[in-house]
Amino acid sequence: MTREMHPARWGDPKLAGALPDSTRELVEYAFGVQDRPAVEVVAVPPSALSEEILAELRGIVGVEQVLLDDETRRLRTRGKSTPDLLRARSGDLADAPDAVVRPADHQQVLALIELAQRHRFALVPFGGGTSVTGGLVARRDDVVGVVSLDLIRMKALREVDPISMTAVLEPGLRGPEAEALLAEHQMTLGHYPQSFEYASIGGFAATRSSGQSSAGYGRFDALVVGLEVATAKGTLVLGSSPANAAGPDLRQLMLGSEGAFGVITAVRVRVRALPTVKQYEAWQFPSFADGADAMRLLAQNGQLPTVIRLSDENETALNLASHSNVGGDTVTGCLMVIGFEGTDVEAVAAKRGAVAALLTRAGGEELGAERGEAWVQGRFAAPYLRDALLDAGVLVETLETATFWSKRDEVYQAVRDALVAELGEKALVLCHISHVYETGCSLYFTVAAPGGDEPLTTWLAAKAAATEAMVGHGATVSHHHAVGSDHRPWFAREIGPVGVDILRAVKAELDPAGVLNPGVMIP
């Protein structure tokens, strides 16, 4: 059985420990601890769907697959942004879906979309429920109700092609499930976002996800060579070839469509041979700028490792404070973690040698494997720490963007300044770069501040200011968290009025009733 997540917390309760003593001390010192336990509410608003609609839903997916109970609906309420958690922690489950429906296959999804068009209820595709941008909160103002389209039964590895090194995966597969099925064929997708343990294949595609190993394996949109999408106009099948000149690349119009154009029911992805060699290590650089320049050097020389990430001075200092048990040496400046994966010891060693030579030339100093391995161990753990910090009254959230190298420092400073201006000088703003390209990079910020009495209001103002800074400085509203409902106003500015017109025209064509994830993505 696929694990489900509590609406107010991340992940598996067994793994969600209390705040570590060292962190609690830091929090006490920085902000003062203010214990704020979550209010436990189970009852959700009564379902708004008519008996007629429910009967038709049952006719499509079967009686057993239309779930109306409070607990199931509660577990499908919103995603995992800090605002989502804060709302749930305060007992607000107003965004609960009216029903959770579990189709078995593409044909049932098509039928559900047809029904939604006819009866004007919203259909919200649900994979892992890990959205952090309001991607699961449908607007209710023009629909008779909201149905969570849970893809949990669509979990097949439909096909593997070991010659072309592709595989066809269904959208309900969670990250570990997809990797386990591929591993039986000695294959891997190599897609490891922080949400990996819960997030789904359909979600990766619908949101243009990018994983921690993007330098080596590529962003999810670069992995997809084919798509099957259910729309109100019928089925769209794309992917005649790896690349072509047959008109616009419609795959790239469906990737990132966040359920607003249709429901992705299968993706054909490029896979790689399952790595047998994995080497992780850490480096230090005098400053964030030095480390970032080194990353640029690697990217522009075509010498990227599989994983590369660089913490700024603040993040480096805080990591050291909270993980004082790792490594004996003192790290000064900024910490970089790099990792190499492959199937050939010599090829990995050659790559590692070339990377190390460039990093040394760029002023880096090797710190050895221990801190690299420590990162691997903890790579999916951060969201648990957020819950513990929220319990202690600390406002914690992440946000991210991407820009070109020449604007890296400008955007970094602007976003930091905006956050500090809103949250006050006590706010901790950490940053790392974890996705690099020849022409630019991502910037991923982690923010911690005293929650105060109105943490939600406080955060929404800070988030607005930060996003304003991103767009104002020509950067994107999201490198890998998507648009959702949270980024829409700024997204409209990023693509301009003509871009918005295009998206609305496609939406009107594929979803004439406007019921597919309404209020999400399309400005």
- Please give the residues from 336 up to 355 whose contact with its own copies meets the rule CB under 8 A: 347, 350, 354
- 241 versus 324: smaller Cβ distance to its own copies: 241
Q: Is 517 in the site for its own copies (CB under 8 A)?
A: no
CA 312-318-324 angle, 5° bins: 125
Contacts of 450 (CB under 8 A, 6+ apart): 31, 32, 34, 393, 394, 395, 424, 426
Written as six digits, the tokens of 18 are: 């209390």
> Using CB under 8 A, which of 166, 188, 467, 517 touches its own copies?
166
> Using CB under 8 A, which of 416, 487, 515, 518 touches its own copies?
487
Which sign, positive or negative, has the C-alpha torsion 79, 83, 89, 90? negative
Size of the site for its own copies (CB under 8 A): 89
- 170 versus 258: smaller Cβ distance to its own copies: 258
Q: Is 279 in the site for its own copies (CB under 8 A)?
A: no
- DSSP, residue by residue, 236-305: EEE-SSSS--SSS-THHHHTT-TTSS-EEEEEEEE-EEPPSEEEEEEEEESSHHHHHHHHHHHHHTT---
Q: Is 502 in the site for its own copies (CB under 8 A)?
A: yes
- 164 versus 377: smaller Cβ distance to its own copies: 164
DSSP code for 436: B
Q: Is 495 in the site for its own copies (CB under 8 A)?
A: yes
Q: Shortest gap between Cβ of 152 and its own copies (angstroms)?
A: 23
Written as six digits, the tokens of 266 are: 């299968």
* Number of Cβ atoms within 10 Å of the Cβ of 300: 14
Q: Is 50 in the site for its own copies (CB under 8 A)?
A: no
84, HSE (Cβ side, Cα atoms, 13 Å)? 29
Name the one range near its own copies by CB under 8 A: 62-70, 98-106, 146-154, 293-301: 293-301
> Using CB under 8 A, which of 88, 215, 225, 419 touches its own copies?
225
Q: Is 243 in the site for its own copies (CB under 8 A)?
A: yes
> Using CB under 8 A, which of 9, 270, 309, 416 touches its own copies?
270
> Using CB under 8 A, which of 21, 64, 330, 498 touches its own copies?
498
* Number of Cβ atoms within 10 Å of the Cβ of 193: 23
Name the one range near its own copies by CB under 8 A: 107-115, 175-183, 246-254, 389-397: 246-254
Q: Is 253 in the site for its own copies (CB under 8 A)?
A: yes
Q: Is 509 in the site for its own copies (CB under 8 A)?
A: yes
Distance of CA 24 to the CA centre of its chain: 27
CA neighbor of 379 nearest in space, from 339, 348, 341: 339
Q: Is 439 in the site for its own copies (CB under 8 A)?
A: yes
Distance CA 351, CA 218 (A): 17
- 291 versus 393: smaller Cβ distance to its own copies: 291
Residue type at 364 in one-letter notation? G
- DSSP, residue by residue, 3-70: ----TTS-S-GGG--PPPHHHHHHHHHHT-----PPP-----PPP---HHHHHHHHHHH-GGGEE--H
- 223 versus 395: smaller Cβ distance to its own copies: 223
Distance CA 341, CA 509 (A): 44
Distance CA 182, CA 155 (A): 12
> Using CB under 8 A, which of 3, 118, 233, 361 touches its own copies?
233
Q: Is 512 in the site for its own copies (CB under 8 A)?
A: no
Q: Is 210 in the site for its own copies (CB under 8 A)?
A: yes
Contacts of 385 (CB under 8 A, 6+ apart): 19, 23, 396
Name the one range near its own copies by CB under 8 A: 177-185, 414-422, 459-467, 488-496: 488-496
Written as six digits, the tokens of 164 are: 């072309």
Lay out the site mask for its own copies across 301-340 (x = CB under 8 A, - = otherwise). x---------------------------------------
DSSP code for 420: H
Q: Is 249 in the site for its own copies (CB under 8 A)?
A: yes
Pairing of β 440-450 and β 263-270:
unpaired
> Using CB under 8 A, which of 169, 178, 187, 402 touches its own copies?
402
- 112 versus 152: smaller Cβ distance to its own copies: 112
In the range 456-485, which residues lie near its own copies by CB under 8 A? 474-483
150, HSE (Cβ side, Cα atoms, 13 Å)? 22
Q: Is 155 in the site for its own copies (CB under 8 A)?
A: no
Q: Shortest gap between Cβ of 220 and its own copies (angstroms)?
A: 9
Q: Shortest gap between Cβ of 53 and its own copies (angstroms)?
A: 25
- 118 versus 504: smaller Cβ distance to its own copies: 504
